Amino acid sequence: MTFTTTDARLAALPHKISQPLASLTSAGQIDEGFLEILLDAAELSGDDKRLLGFAAGYLHMAKDGVPVEDVIRMAKRQKRRINLGWSPARWKNEHNKLSRAETLARLSASNQFYDLSAYDEHLPDAARKALIRCSKRLGLEGLRQRHCVASYHDRIINGGCAIASVIVERQRWTVQLERTWIEDKPLAITQIKTRLNGIAPPGIRRKIHEFMGLALPGGEFVSDSVPNYVYLENLRHVLPVLDRQGIERVTITFSGSGDSGAIDWAYFTPEQPEEFHQTRVEQLRSNSVYENDRWRKGLVSESMTLKEALYNITDDYLEETGVNWYDNDGGYGELEIDVAARSVSLDVNVNFTESTNEYCETKCIDTGEVDL
């Protein structure tokens, strides 16, 4: 049975749950809006027995900036289940997944078309056909590749970049283009990513540049002795930017399951406008060139947005752990940067399904007797 009014929904709960909530509402200690959120949580979880305890946990998490209310509202709109026993990190992860789904759905529904004429005039025919020209296709690219390209919608609308979807060696690559304002090199590829934010190896980068009709950027190698992971060095480039802005803490969340995983979102404390996410920073990445009859590997400096840098740092650190947080039941976690302490911490959780045998018996079909 579906109850439509708040009073009817409250009355449908067990008395030992509904009576305290009714008393708190009557006393003005909680308002009707908060009560409705709790009722939604009970219905979405199917777990009214833990509702009072959850109410206390909800208020504590909300004080710490955990977006519990947003998750409940989005889960209701998307008809998704929730669990009242989720940790603060899990609530944040669910927020990222649900908000990403809403963003992609909104892009697909609105289907705005992009003016890419500033890019078309500098690209060959095949490259022009690879450009993503509407928000619906951008949303589908994000869904298919499981990365954050859909968040670039506003930048594309404002002429800040263009996105292409390119197939190389039977693999799809998402390519970001920007204008350089240099007469003889008007466009540059600033980012190439595949599924789950995978980074393109040098051979693929070369083929994509050739396909787009753009020259590979030059760069001076920092060293021929290249470390496997450079996230600490890249963090040293990011910290001054965060410090100048008065950032106390940055939290980057990630989640995955069923062979898919992705960096979900970056949170700043205190919160920052979207423009700050687009601050340009210098980061190191590995690169290889064929020189003097051999491949030479080194590090080059590359300019990227702060958001991209934080995602790449998280990817690099996760790669070092060797933890499989994206296959089977998957996992989730967060990377946290404490700016004042100049420290970084990584928390990786892996989900697993535990099963126990509760019944096991063999019977003879003819006699019904149990085989011992």
Q: What pLDDT, on a 0 to 100 scale, did the predictor assign at position 193?
A: 86
Whether residues 69 and 127 fall in one domain: no
Q: What is the DSSP letter of 199?
A: B
Q: Answer whether residue 223 shows pLDDT above 50.
A: no
Q: What is the DSSP letter of 352?
A: -
Q: What is the DSSP letter of 134?
A: B
**What is the rounded CA–CA span in Å between residue 14 and residue 132?**
53
**What is the rounded CA–CA span in Å between residue 79 and residue 319?**
34
Q: How many domains does the chain have?
A: 3
- Identify the residue with better confidence: 37 or 372: 37
Beta carbons within 8 Å of 190's beta carbon, 6+ residues apart = 161, 176, 177, 178, 303, 304
Whether residues 321 and 268 fall in one domain: yes
pLDDT digits (tens, 9 = 90+) for 83-97: 998 988 888 878 877
Whether residues 173 and 279 fall in one domain: no
Whether residues 59 and 123 fall in one domain: no
Q: What pLDDT, on a 0 to 100 scale, did the predictor assign at position 296?
A: 56
Q: What pLDDT, on a 0 to 100 scale, did the predictor assign at position 327?
A: 65
Residue 1 falls within a domain, yes or no?
no
Residue 223 falls within a domain, yes or no?
no
Domain final residue pick, 86, 118, 145:
86
Residue 323 falls within a domain, yes or no?
yes
Whether residues 145 and 196 fall in one domain: yes
The residues with which 288 forms a beta bridge, in sequence order, are 297
Domain range for 48 is: 6-86
Q: What pLDDT, on a 0 to 100 scale, did the predictor assign at position 107?
A: 66
Whether residues 194 and 141 fall in one domain: yes
Whether residues 159 and 263 fall in one domain: no
**What is the rounded CA–CA span in Å between residue 60 and residue 67?**
11
| Conformational region of residue 175, where left means phi above 0, alpha means psi within -120 to 50, and beta covers everything else | beta
Whether residues 245 and 318 fall in one domain: yes
Strands of the chain, DSSP E: 162-168, 171-182, 185-193, 249-257, 260-269, 280-291, 294-305, 331-338, 343-350
Q: What pLDDT, on a 0 to 100 scale, did the predictor assign at position 57?
A: 92
242 close to 267: Cβ distance less than 8 angstroms: no
Q: Answer whether residue 131 shows pLDDT above 90.
A: yes
Q: Answer whether residue 217 shows pLDDT above 80.
A: no
Q: What pLDDT, on a 0 to 100 scale, did the predictor assign at position 219?
A: 47
Whether residues 76 and 162 fall in one domain: no
Residue 219 falls within a domain, yes or no?
no
Sign of CA dihedral 139, 145, 148, 154: negative
Quote the tokens at residue 235: 């963090």
Quote the tokens at residue 334: 């967060």
Whether residues 184 and 294 fall in one domain: no
Whether residues 236 and 308 fall in one domain: yes
Whether residues 43 and 72 fall in one domain: yes
Strand order through the sheet with 249-257: 260-269, 249-257, 331-338, 343-350
